[in-house]
Amino acid sequence: MSFAANHPRHRNDAKVMSRADLTARLVARLHHEEAVIGGIGYANFDLWGAGHRPQNFYMLGSMGLAVPIALGVAIAQPARRVVALEGDGSVLMQLGALATVAGLRPANLVIVIWDNGAYQITGGQPTAAAAAADLVAIARGAGIAQSAWAADESDFEEMIARALTEDGPWLIGCRIDAVKPVATTERDPARIRDRFMRGIAVGG
Amino acid sequence: MAEFDRDTGTAFWPHALYDLLRGAGVSQFAYVPDAGHKVLIDRSLADPDAQSIPLTTEEEGVALLAGADLGGARGVLLMQSSGVGNCINMLSLIAGGRFPFLTLVSMRGEFGEGNPWQFPMGQAVVPVLEAMGVICLRAEHPDEVIPTVSAALTMAFQSGQAVAVLLTQKLIGAKSF
């Protein structure tokens, strides 16, 4: 509970930050070929924009699958940290996946939620997170005890540093703004898969 | 050889099937429970070298198995025919990424089904899966299970195909509820 106690209690208490900036801060801390599974939409575009890594997998097809894909990688690669980046709309579509993660307790899994309260890529329509849903509270209720909102950029960096070294699973909620990414991810799924598998040296 | 254990009334093939899957390197067993998969689920829970992964909904399993492949592992999705409908859109990931994919589907809504609510999805399983690029193989008799799943394992993990083995109600018995 100490993890949660040192961070904003509610979504509305967290600072609204830049997704591109936070993504760059995250990527700058990856020094051990950590796997990153980007969720559909702008989460992936900013991940690509932060500089392509062979250990990035860009999920571009269906909402909500970054977390279960990352879980499969985390179970298959227990010695490697695996980070899932997912938007609030996508997490809302697969809330059950949080309970699945909580039940399996993968120590090497880190979930980062980019919450701007909007389906930004389709025109900014509000999500249930904008209305009332607190995804960190939902994650904690699902059983991921180490779930918390990042208060600001330095808090985010401290949380990432801890999540990359100490036993998880971890879930870090980030309020983000509505700025559009400057980059666009490449699209060929078979090529993305092949490059990722070569990037973590499991063939392809 | 007898097809059933005389003392417990349970079939032998599910145990041989578990051994076949493990022998083929399958280590992630993801499932939404169904009575037809009880032995496989119980064996995976008791197996220290396998991961037994209960899902909240079947489409999670499609993504999880893609993740398993990305991480260099092999998995299988165990579900009832009603769960096939939940997976449809997620199978785009399998087709687009040319992921190997193996699912064992315990059938409802077909041979001898006693619950009318099961028919629409049960009857739609094959056209829906085939429409999404999944090859369907049927096992209707205990003697067919091992050869059929052996073929599916080769097709999935050697040839990179998406394959469903339908464990039919002729095989597992029709339910009256």
What Å distances lie between residue A142 and A137, A138, A145, B51, B63, CA to CA?
A: 8, 6, 8, 21, 20
B86 occurs within a structural domain:
yes
* Average pLDDT of chain A to the nearest whole number: 95
Contact state of B68 with A75 under an 8 Å Cβ cutoff: yes
- Closest listed residue to residue A25, CA positions, set A174, A153, A200, A118: A153
Point out the residue among B64, B69, B99 whose CB comes nearest to the CB of A71.
B64
Q: What is the CATH number of the domain that holds B21?
A: 3.40.50.970
**Nearest residue of chain A to residue B31 (CA atoms):** A100
Strand intervals (E) in chain B: 26-31, 51-54, 74-80, 101-106, 135-139, 162-167
Q: What global pTM score does this model have?
A: 0.94
This complex has an ipTM of: 0.92
> Torsions phi, psi of B101, nearest 5?
-150, 125
Contact state of B71 with A100 under an 8 Å Cβ cutoff: no
Contact state of B73 with A189 under an 8 Å Cβ cutoff: no
A58 occurs within a structural domain:
yes
pLDDT value at residue A187: 87
Question: What is the per-residue pLDDT across B14-45, written as a single tens digit (0 to 9) for each?
Answer: 999 999 999 999 999 999 999 899 999 999 99
B27 occurs within a structural domain:
yes
B144 occurs within a structural domain:
yes
Q: Which of the four pLDDT bands, split at 50, 70 and 90, describes residue A61?
A: confident
- Total count of domains within chain A: 1
Contact state of A69 with B53 under an 8 Å Cβ cutoff: no
Q: Which structural domain, as residue segments, surrounds residue B108?
A: 14-171
Residue B64 contacts A, CB cutoff 8 Å: yes
**Nearest residue of chain B to residue A68 (CA atoms):** B64
Question: What is the per-residue pLDDT across B80-111, written as a single tens digit (0 to 9) for each?
Answer: 999 999 999 999 999 999 999 999 999 999 99
Specify the DSSP class assigned to residue B11: B
Q: What is the CATH number of the domain that holds A60?
A: 3.40.50.970
- Total count of domains within chain B: 1
Contact state of B70 with A57 under an 8 Å Cβ cutoff: yes
CA distance B16 to chain A (A): 24
Task: Kindly give the pairing relationship between strand A35-38 and strand A118-119.
Answer: unpaired
Q: Which structural domain, as residue segments, surrounds residue A81?
A: 2-199
DSSP calls for chain A? -HHHHTS-SSGGGSPPB-HHHHHHHHHHT--S--EEEEPTTHHHHHHHHT---TTEEE--SSTT-HHHHHHHHHHH-TTS-EEEEEEHHHHHHTTHHHHHHHHH--TTEEEEEEE-SEEGGGT-EE-HHHHT--HHHHHHHHT-SEEEE--SHHHHHHHHHHHTTS---EEEEEEB--PPPS------HHHHHHHHHHHTTS--
